[in-house]
Amino acid sequence: MPQWGGDPRRFALGKTQRGIDAALRRLVGDAYAHVALFHARMDAAGVRPTAIRSVADLERLPLSDRQAFVPARRADYLRAGTDPAAFRRAQTSGTTGTPIDIFMIHA
């Protein structure tokens, strides 16, 4: 389970805007610290985790498209120390070239 504060399906349920912003800060900080691809993309865009203080700051985050994931190793886009077996794995069809693994929390 993610370390940023709980079940992502309940991320915004019953939270005030202040609570949502706090959860967002934890999520972005955790991703920056523990997800190599996210860290590299934020650095390349010149965005520090401390720049993301609220939902209004989301536009500062660099977008990640398919091309960001194709050359990446699985370990680069999963949280460091994550066991892929703990997640449900799906895969894109690969019709545009290379299939991409997608990891989801078991529901």
pLDDT confidence band for 12 (50 / 70 / 90): low
Average pLDDT, the chain: 82
Task: Output 80 or 66, whichever has higher pLDDT.
Answer: 80
The Cα–Cα gap between 30 and 34 comes to 6
Q: What are 78's two structure tokens?
A: 């999963």
Is the pLDDT higher at 84 or at 54?
54
Residues 63/49, Cβ–Cβ less than 8 Å: no
pTM above 0.85, yes or no: no
Which pLDDT band, with edges at 50, 70 and 90, does 4 fall under? very low
Strand (E) or helix (H) holding 104:
strand 101-105
Helix (H) or strand (E) holding 87: strand 87-91
